[in-house]
Amino acid sequence: MTDTSRANASAGAPTAGAWPPPGPDVATAGTAPGPAGLAGMAAAIPAEALSSSGRRLLAHLLEGVLVLVTLGVGWLVWSVIVWGRGQTPAKQLMHMRCLDTRTGLAAGTGTMVLREGLGKWVLSSATAGLTMIIGGVMVLGDGRQALWDKLANTVVVDDPQDRWAPPA
C-alpha cells in the first residue's frame, strides 16, 4: 500500500478494488479522487460503477415509453418525486442514478432539472433532436458523459443497492 492509498483509506475514500463502494460519507465528500476515481472529477467515482452505454440507451428508450404510457402527466409527476434522488422514472426502474461529479453524491432536484429539462428537452427541441444524437455518441466515450451530463456535471452509475441514495 502506498502512502497515498493509506491516506485515502484512512480518510474513508474507496481504495483500488474496493467495490461496491461504501455509502457517501459527508466528511470525505468533495475530496480528491482516490486510486479508483475517474480522472478530472472532484469526487471519487469508480469507473466500474458507470452505467454502460447499452444500459443508458435502454433507460432512454424506457423513458420514452413511460412518457407515452402515462400521457406525459404521470411521467412528469413521477419525475418531480424522484429527481431529488438523482433519478428519472426509467433510472429508478433500472436501478441507476445520476451523481454530481463535484461531490460524488446523488444529483439534487436543481441539478436534475438542469440536466433533464434544459439539457435534454429544451436543447433537443431547439435542435430538432440533434442534441439527442450528439449525446448518444458522447456516451460511447471513456467518461460516458452525454452533453446534458457535462452541462449538469453528472455521471450515470448503476446503483442496485442504493449506495448513493440520499439520506431519507
Q: pLDDT of 75-108, one tens digit each?
A: 999 999 999 999 999 999 999 999 999 999 999 9
Q: How many domains is the chain partitioned into structurally? A: 2
Is 123 domain-assigned? yes
Task: Indicate if 2 and 54 belong to the same structural domain.
Answer: no
pTM of the model: 0.76
The confidence score (pLDDT) of residue 155 equals: 97
pLDDT range class, residue 159, cuts 50, 70, 90: very high
Cα-to-chain-centroid distance, residue 62: 17
| Domain presence at residue 44 | no
Please indicate, yes or no, whether residues 72 and 12 belong to a single structural domain of this protein: no
- Whether the pLDDT of residue 28 is over 80: the answer is no
In a domain, 79, yes or no: yes
Instruction: Find the helix packing angle between 73-82 and 53-69, rounded to 10°.
Output: 130
Domain match, 74 and 129 both: yes
Q: Which residues 6+ apart lie within 8 Å of 77 measured at CB?
A: none
Q: Residue 117: is its pLDDT beyond 70?
A: yes
Q: What is the pLDDT of residue 134?
A: 92
Integer Cα distance of 165 and 106 in angstroms: 6
Does residue 152 share a domain with residue 98?
yes
Which pLDDT does position 60 carry in this prediction?
A: 94
Contact 83, 109 (CB under 8 A): yes
User: Which one is predicted more confidently, 17 or 128?
Assistant: 128
**Shared-domain flag, residues 103 and 166:** yes
Does 110 map to a domain?
A: yes
- Going from the C-alpha of 153 to that of each of 18, 45, 56, 90, 101, the distances in angstroms are 24, 13, 17, 20, 6
Distance spanning both ends of the chain, measured CA to CA: 36
Pair 54, 114 in one domain:
yes
62 in a domain, yes or no?
yes
- On whether residue 27 sits in a domain, the answer given is no
Please report the pLDDT score of residue 143 as a whole number.
87
Which domain range does residue 70 map to? 49-168
